[in-house]
Chain A
Amino acid sequence: MKRLQARYTFAGLKSLLILGWRGIAHCAFTVAILSIGAGVALAESQGATQKPLVRIYLNWLPQSQFAGYIMASEKGFFASRGLDVRLIWALPGESSLQILERGDVEFAAARLDSALFNRAEGSTVVQVMQLYQRCALMLITRKDVQKLEQLNGQVVQTWTWDSRKILEILFKMYKVQPSQILPQSASLAPFISGLVGGAMASEFNEYLQLMNHGLRKDDFNTFAFADYGLGILGDGLYTRQDFARQNEQLVRSVREAIREGWYYAFSHGHETAEVIKNIAESKRHRTNIQHQFAMLQTVHSLITNNGEVPLENMGVLREEDFIFARDVLTRAGYAVEDLTLKSFVVGP
């Protein structure tokens, strides 16, 4: 662990010297992870009686997508359960589950399809909670692209490698052959400029951003994955199988604290939006309360599946949803056909 810390410290220093702002940001993230890791190591080495440090990796910028985690942390729901939780904010790039798999964090947020893709590649991640009860993924296309086939020969953007996988499944299903699939950052400028034919979007973020940029619904087209047979559920919380096995109580406590966090967020919408805005600002991310509040409302509809799932059932992955996702990936050639719900999920 110490060697790992030293390697990352060296890399960070080097980055400060020779890398650009992007690199420095990346290094800062790495240093932060390592520092936290060092803290854990120090605690372990000293055998201190401090609360065990729990790191949760959230796979995007601070925003209402993670309102439950944030409010659980801010309102002390973790601490009241004897947990010392640190929320780790991602930068676009590496998959959150790969970071989890590496052991850099104890928990990570990710979509269900991402988890299955990782399991297909031998990962041991298991699900702690299935928060979103429907798929929020969509493909946004320029106004002139009214059918998926019209993306043939067009440039399309997507996020990390797991997002690219689900997009490729979609294109495969509908025989779409874009000219290029380029990485997609937080910026929607290439799409708004019309430089790309399509880009990935979530119902709760990019779609709202486009509206804020002054685009109207008829200025672009949307293709919801759910409408094209790929409605695999969205965000959930994952951990490693061995960690879950060794820390059953801790996992249970984390789950309960997050649930309580979501309850609080939904019942204190404006306060939550303001807290998130302030956290985002502290992380150099520019946003506003209005956008965060709108996002929170959309997330609520995702967690309750437009009211069909009561909040009391939050976090539960239904077997049919699991089987649907597993079958989609199996048909696409991913080796998850033997995966069972029981082996995939920890807890209730």
Chain B
Amino acid sequence: MSHKRMSLQHKTMFIVALPLTIMVCMGLYFGLLAASKARVESLTIEMEERTARQAAELDLFFSNVSRNADNLAQTLTALSPLPVPSVFTLAREVVSVTGISSCAVAYTVDPNTGMALHDMVRTRRIEGRIAPALISRTRLLDYINTDWFLMPQLAGKGMWTDPFYVDDLHTEIVCYGSPIFQEGKFLGVAAVSVELDSIRTVLNSINTVGSQLVLVSQYGTIVSHPDAEYALRYTLTGLANEHGGKDLQQFANDMRNLRSFGMTRLEDGILGDKEYIAYAAVGNADWVLLSIVPEATVMRPLQCSFTLWVLSSILGALCLFAAIYLSGKRKVVVPLQRLTVGTNRLARGEFRFRVAETSDTVELWQLEKAFNSMAAQLESSLLKEIEAGKAKSYAEEASRAKSDFLARMSHEIRTPMNAVMGFAHIALSRDPDTEQRNFLLKIQSAGKNMLSIINDILDFSKIEAGMLELERVTFSLKDLVADLYSIFEHSAKSHHLDFRVEVDSSLPDYLVGDPLRITQVFMNLCNNAFKFTDQGHIIVRFSLHHREGSRLMIRGSVEDTGMGISQDAQAKLFTKFTQADTSTTRRFGGTGLGLAICRLLAELMGGSIALTSREGEGSEFVVYFTCDEGRAQDLPLSTTAIASDVMDLPVECRLEARVLVAEDNEINQEIIASMLESLNIPYDIANDGAEAVRMVEASFLTDHSYALVLMDMQMPIMDGIGATRYLREHGYTLPIIAMTANALPADRDNCLREGMNGHIPKPVEPMLLRAALGYWIESTCVRPDSQ
């Protein structure tokens, strides 16, 4: 799972920006809300007042008109019947009043005759001139069903008609009729008309900046509308039905019989959009004046100021943000970046680097101080560690150099030792006299001691250098014990000592561990015991100390009845190059490495070594080591193979088995040649690896291919490893036995890994050579008796 990391810088921005943005948004929202509310409230008051004022002006206009008609009716009521010229005079006066376009006086029908009582008188303003007209009684019948005549008659008072179109005048008018009564009897009507254009002129004269006026008659007819198409063609309800807005329908209903003024907001209004509508009754005519302002118009100044406000808010927020950000960066991010740089420089090893303790933030200043303190501590401890590391490195280098030196020394010593031991062996085999034999045996003994010393030194060096790796193989404890016994059996007999090896029955037969090193430890202890014991017994014991699962802690001990060891000597006995006393060396020889190696090996095997001893009574060395419980089926085959002696093979076998010796050293060539000749085994010599390869290849082209190759390692042109690798890669499977002064276990492992079949260290132990030759030649030999 991956985590996206955000820098403190960005995080700071985020932490600052988010609350700021929310604050700005909330501020804007509530600000807008408050501003729009205030705007609507002020608009409401303003529009209501203005509309009421406009309605009042209209009302004044209508009142003036209706008053003139009423006055005329009252005059006629008082003076009727008046002669026609007098009526004309009165009507003319009425028409001279501003706004009135015509005046008519009409009398009702005589119920007996069906005729009007008088002719109808009408005066009309036509192009500024007042034109009189007399309508005969017969034609008056056409007028008595008109609203201006009928309605005052029925109402008994003055009435305004709904506006209507007059064909002959091509104009729209509205009439006001006032009834003429005489002694309670209806006589007729005095009516005046007003052209709608006059009303519209009045409307236009009223300041309506920002709003549009709609005039609705008492019957819901739209008298005046910004879109002339609607005037007299629609009622407010009809318009609402067509627009389909429920709120407009409700509004149209509310406007019926309106007596007051107010304001409302419609979603789908009269002009077809969201709008605010102020309304006021025009009392005299029962009309309604609507003053409409689209919401967009209302909000436009608000939007402008809102835009300005938003911009200034954003600018303010940005400034605030920048201030917080820069301050945060200077006070937090920059010191932290300095600390990061410091940490990186420390990581690169600049332990002397310190950050400036300049932060004015307490926590960061403390962090800077802590950083510097840590750097100082680190510098001190790391310098010490580096010095210690260097010392260790030098020591390891020295140890490695020593090991290399010893390995080289081992090789270089073994080569001449091979000559010494080899020629001693050859000389012994040539039937020397007694004195010569004695000399030769002493040469051999001295050589063996020298080899032992070399092996001890090498082992110790390897263990100390940590280069010794223990094997983990399954082995038979009984075999190990038997081998140990067989090694020392002869010595025990010759020294008249009671030598025994006892194995506790609780121990399993098979163990997993390093049998060679176990043998090495107990051989060393036995060697010591035999060295220092003149009489009595030497007993080797193996028992189970404890078990943890399959892991066993084994207790092995070597008890003797020798001279014993003093308490002082015991304390330093297991340190290298130390013996109980210097006289020991002089008396018994030895390097003083044996017990140190035993201790190290015991420790490597997860155990320890201890000593119990009393001077003059004897000693008991106890070794604890761990092994795992093993199984018989896991035993390696090599340990089960039975070594043969080539001398046990028939002469024919030996004669037919030709051996190739790859050896560059002439002395060694001579020694091995002598050994092979003494064994009646034919051989060829190759002076280097390349020659050995050629000779093997050549032999396979004849009937006498080599039975095996004895291969030296270090040779000119091609070494033994290279030659072996070549032969194996080209399909040659004949046995190749390393015969080399590279005698270390790692050398042996390397040889086997590269395809060799065995390893004989130099100086060549003749018995070992005979066993190896016997084993490999036997496998290719066809015995005569088997035919």
Contact = CB atoms under 8 A, between A and B. Distances in A.
A92 B145 contact: yes
A187 B220 contact: no
A183 B219 contact: no
A26 B139 CA distance: 10
A290 B241 contact: yes
Contact of B142 (A26, A155, A192): A26
A6 interface: no
B168 A21 contact: yes
A185 B161 CA distance: 13
B234 A214 contact: no
B262 interface: no
Contacts of A28: 167-168
Nearest to B145: A183
A216 B241 CA distance: 13
A182 B168 contact: no
Interface string B230-251: 0011111110011000000000
B556 to A, nearest CB: 120
B167 A187 contact: no
Contact of A20 (B122, B144, B150, B256): B122
B297 to A, nearest CB: 27
Interface stretch (B87-95, B151-159, B467-475, B762-770): B151-159
B167 A18 contact: no
B233 to A, nearest CB: 5
B133 interface: yes
Contacts of B253: 214, 216
B702 interface: no
A259 B122 CA distance: 46
Given A189-B151, A193-B155, A214 B252 contact: yes
B166 A21 contact: yes
- Give the interface size class of chain B: 35 or more
Contact of B165 (A196, A214, A284, A288): A284
A25 B150 CA distance: 19
Nearest to B218: A193
Contacts of B133: 17-20
A18 B146 contact: no
A23 B235 contact: no
A245 interface: no
B237 A93 contact: no
A99 interface: no
B135 interface: yes
Contacts of A288: 233-234, 238, 242
Contacts of A182: 145, 150, 154
Given A19-B133, A155-B154, A214-B252, A290 B166 contact: no
A16 B126 CA distance: 13
B82 interface: no
Contacts of A24: 167-168
A216 B249 CA distance: 11
Contacts of A155: 154
A38 to B, nearest CB: 21
A195 interface: yes
A20 B168 CA distance: 9
A196 B154 contact: yes
B743 to A, nearest CB: 119
B69 interface: no
A284 B167 contact: yes
Given A214-B237, A288-B233, A291-B238, A190 B146 contact: no
Nearest to A25: B167
Contacts of B236: 214
B670 interface: no
Contacts of B168: 16, 21, 24-25, 28
A192 B165 contact: no
A185 B238 CA distance: 21
Contacts of B237: 211-214
A287 interface: yes
Interface string B126-152: 000000011110010011111100110
Given A23-B135, A214-B236, A189 B162 contact: yes
A286 interface: yes
Interface residues of A, number: 40
Interface string B67-79: 0000000000000
Contact of B147 (A190, A214, A285, A287): A190
B151 A195 contact: yes
A3 interface: no
A189 B218 CA distance: 9
B676 interface: no
A184 interface: yes
A318 interface: no
Contacts of B167: 21, 24-25, 28, 284
Given A187-B161, A195-B155, A290-B241, A20 B234 contact: no
Given A22-B143, A185-B147, A212-B235, A192 B154 contact: no
Nearest to A196: B154
Contacts of A23: 135, 139, 142
Given A214-B235, A286-B232, A288-B234, A189 B161 contact: yes
Given A18-B134, A190-B151, A196-B154, A185 B145 contact: yes
Nearest to A158: B145
B142 A22 contact: yes
Nearest to B237: A214
A185 B146 CA distance: 6
B732 interface: no
B104 interface: yes
Nearest to A195: B154
Interface string A131-157: 000000000000000000000000100
Contacts of B145: 92, 182-185
Q: Among the interface residues B145, B155, B241, B255, which one has the most CB atoms of the partner chain A within 10 A?
A: B145
Given A22-B143, A26-B142, A185-B147, A212 B220 contact: yes
Contacts of A211: 237, 241
- Most chain B beta carbons < 10 A, residue from A20, A28, A183, A212: A20
B220 A20 contact: no
A17 B126 CA distance: 13
B22 interface: no
B633 to A, nearest CB: 106
Nearest to A15: B139
B238 A212 contact: yes
A-B pairs with lowest CB-CB distance, top 8: A183-B145, A24-B168, A195-B154, A214-B237, A212-B238, A21-B166, A286-B232, A25-B167
21 contacts: A18-B134, A18-B136, A22-B146, A24-B167, A93-B142, A182-B145, A182-B150, A182-B154, A187-B146, A187-B161, A189-B151, A189-B219, A190-B154, A193-B151, A193-B159, A195-B150, A212-B237, A213-B219, A213-B221, A213-B235, A214-B252
Given A20-B120, A213-B221, A214-B255, 7 more contacts: A18-B134, A20-B133, A21-B168, A190-B151, A211-B241, A212-B235, A216-B253
Interface of B: 104, 120, 122, 133-136, 139, 142-147, 150-151, 154-155, 159, 161-162, 164-170, 218-221, 232-238, 241-242, 252-253, 255-256
